[in-house]
Amino acid sequence: MFSRHDLERRYNVHSMREDEWHAHSGRVTACLVRGHLETARSPSILLLNAGAGVYEFPHQRWHEIALDLFIKPIKARRNAVCGSIEALPFSPQAFGAVVCVGEVVAYCDPATVFREFARALAPTGLLILDFRSTRSARYWFRRQYGRAAELATDIYNETPERTWIYDPRYIRRLLDVSGFVVRQVLGTHVWSSVLCAIGLPTSQATRIERTLPAPALLQGFADLVTIVAERATA
C-alpha cells in the first residue's frame, strides 16, 4: 500500500518537527519506554529501535541498534542499519528488547512485522509498540470505527497523512498468534480524542489532555494505544 517513494519525502530527513498532538504522545511513550527498559531482564543486552527515525532510547544497560528504512535519520548513529521491519536483517533471538513506536506499524502488515519481532527476540524478550486505534473517539459514527484494520487520514504537522489504523483487539490477537504475552496496555490522547470528536481543534484538545487524568471508563476511546508484551518462552 505504501511504497518507499511514498514515504521518502516525509521520513528520509535529518530532523523532525512535531506538532503539539504528536509531541505530547511522544513524551508519554518515551517515559513508558524508559521505565520498562530500566526494569526489563533479558539474556541479551541488544535493543532494536525498529523504525527509529531521528529518535533514540539511550540507556546504560542496553546496546541500541537503530533500524530505519532510510539513511538520513540514522546516518550519524554509531550502530545504524538500513532495512525494513517486515524483513529484519538479524539472526534469530538476537535481541533482548524491541521498541517500535511512532506509529511505525501504520505503514506495514502487522502480522508480518510481529512474526519478525518474535523471530528476532530472545525468549522473555520485551516488545513495546504503538499504533492508532479504530476505536478512538475521533472515529465515532464514521466507517472506520471498530474495524480490524482501516485506512484513515490524519493531520501531521498541518499536512494530511494517510495511514493504517487498527482495532486493539485485532493487534492483540496477532501478537498472541506470534507468541507474545501482553503485559500492559496504555491509551494516550483519551480526553483529546473525545474533545476532537465534538469539534475542538487538536491543539486545544491536547492542552486539556495534558492537565486531566483520563478515567478508566474512557481508556477504550484512546487515539494512540501502546502495548508492552513479552516473547513467550515456548
Distance CA 207, CA 78 (A): 36
Domain boundaries, the chain: 4-133+167-188+219-231
- Helix 110-120 × helix 168-177 angle, to 10°: 40
pLDDT tens-place string over residues 170-217: 999 999 999 999 999 999 999 999 999 999 999 999 999 999 888 888
Write out the CATH class of domain 4-133+167-188+219-231: alpha beta
pLDDT tens-place string over residues 90-122: 999 999 999 999 989 999 999 999 999 999 999
Strand intervals (E) in 133-179: 149-156, 159-166
Distances (CA, A) of 133 to 108, 137, 191: 15, 9, 14
Distance CA 67, CA 50 (A): 5
CA angle 123, 129, 134 (to 5 degrees): 130
